[in-house]
Amino acid sequence: MTATLAGINDMVIRLFFGQSADSTMASGATGSDALFLYIWWVSVFFFVLLMGIMVYCMVVYRRKEGDVPIRSASHNTPLEIAWSVIPSLLLAVMFFWGFDGYLKASMAPSYAEEVNLTGQKWSWTMEYSTGIGASEFHTVGGNDNTPIFYMPAETPVRLKMHSEDVLHAFWVPDFRMKLDVVPNRYTPFVFTALPLDRSGADPRVEIGLSKGGQEFYYRDHTVFCAEYCGDSHSEMVATLRVVEPAFYKAWVNTPPYDVVTPPVEVGELVWKAKCAVCHTVDGGISTGPTWLNAYGYPRDFTDGSSMTQEEIDDKGPTKWDDYIRESILLPGAKVRAGFANAMPSFDGQISEVELRGVIAYMRSLSDRDPKSPIEGFDDLEAEAAELEAAEGGE
């Protein structure tokens, strides 16, 4: 009997959440699913009861020739008290259960791993305790540059979230948890990811290869922005990659790029993390101008002013370097004709090294760059690889 009930419950959870009952991947989520099941059974009971009576009446009391309106009770106090009090009690259980789960889900011990999370139109950025950020990206849905955020399993984590512009909300469906990300205020997103099953029984646990050539187990969870934030709201996704605590510790202490990383590569990483949602590098149309063959060309701005070819020729590369720098830190100063003033300021969120990286990367993407005779992006990558190989050989 109990086995059957558990089986049916598992079916219900599968139906609603897509995976079996143990698909909840954070400690708080199990309680939320149990409450969901309770509400489900209360709802099913009342719905079937009400619809059953309705259909019964439809059949038995359908109008017949010569019907006389039957005098029947117009109210019944015991019945009315019963159907007010019993649901009230069932609802009281829902309230307390839900509140209890909510409190458990929003509290973290003081030793929790704290990671800073910034929401911005239309990307998420993490800053770990060691100062590093995401350095790997993959494709989720329509977003080719979805950042991968490493998170430790079995460890309480507190994401200290804040928004640079409008409201966002950080939602991890697998954790059954979401919280608004608000400008001018920190909100704590708290979770403890459940352990990774190394037996191979869990299809969601996969084996990856780290940069250092080390094999590691991981499980990915998709993050969505759940509070409407404009044009690319639906592309504001990220991946939480839960790994074992020891691997996490090693990972978080490995900087993604160091002094010997070529600026072009730094720029490309920054582009993926912060810029790709609006700027393409292949000439494609998006919210902002493409970076392909942009550097070094004259520009017209919405306020009627312009940056002419003569000015660029006079001043050399610094003219465009200044323009990029200004556009990142103070985007509204010069808005290119044909585009809206949609870009948020990155002042305070981008380091000098990263800024120089973006400039170098944009420069590498243009055929007007004196230093780069090669056209097109693929060739450039090849060139960068050659460069790296040459460095390695020294």
Give the nearest distance from C-beta 193 to other proteins in angstroms.
Answer: 16
Cα 175 to Cα 157: distance, rounded to the nearest angstrom = 12
Q: Is 98 helix (H, G, I), strand (E, B) or coil?
A: helix
How near is the Cβ of 40 to other proteins at its closest, in Å?
8
Cis peptide before 122 (omega within 30 of 0): yes
* CB 75, min distance to other proteins, A: 5
**What is the β-pairing status of strands 156-163 and 113-120?**
parallel
Instruction: Output the smallest distance, CB 358 to other proteins, in A.
Output: 21
End-to-end CA distance of the chain: 73
**Minimum gap (Å) between residue 265 Cβ and other proteins:** 28
Would you say 73 or 201 has its CB closer to other proteins? Answer: 73
CA–CA separation, 236 and 117 (whole Å): 14
Query: Which lies closer to other proteins via its Cβ, residue 71 or residue 371?
Result: 71
User: CB of residue 272 vs other proteins: minimum separation in angstroms?
Assistant: 19
Phi, psi of 193, rounded to the nearest 5 degrees: -70, 140
Counting Cα atoms < 13 Å in the Cβ hemisphere of 389 gives 6
* Closer residue to other proteins (CB): 95 or 111: 95
Quick one: 76 or 351, whose CB is closer to other proteins? 76
Question: What phi and psi, each to the nearest 5 degrees, are found at residue 174?
Answer: -65, -25
**Residue among 116 and 187 whose Cβ is closer to other proteins:** 187
Place of tokens 């800073």: 116
CB of 337 to other proteins, least distance (A): 6
Distance of CA 302 to the CA centre of its chain: 33
Amino acid in position 10 = D
Q: How far is CA 273 from CA 43, 259, 354, in A?
A: 44, 19, 11
Nearer to other proteins, 52 or 255 (CB): 52
Nearer to other proteins, 5 or 53 (CB): 53
Residues 6+ apart with CB under 8 A from 138: 146, 148, 239
Task: Check: CB of residue 342 under 8 Å from CB of residue 231.
Answer: yes
Shortest Cβ 361–other proteins spacing (Å): 22
3-state SS, residue 379: helix
Q: Which is nearer to other proteins, 86 or 246 (CB)?
A: 86
Contact (Cβ atoms closer than 8 angstroms) between residue 224 and residue 173: yes
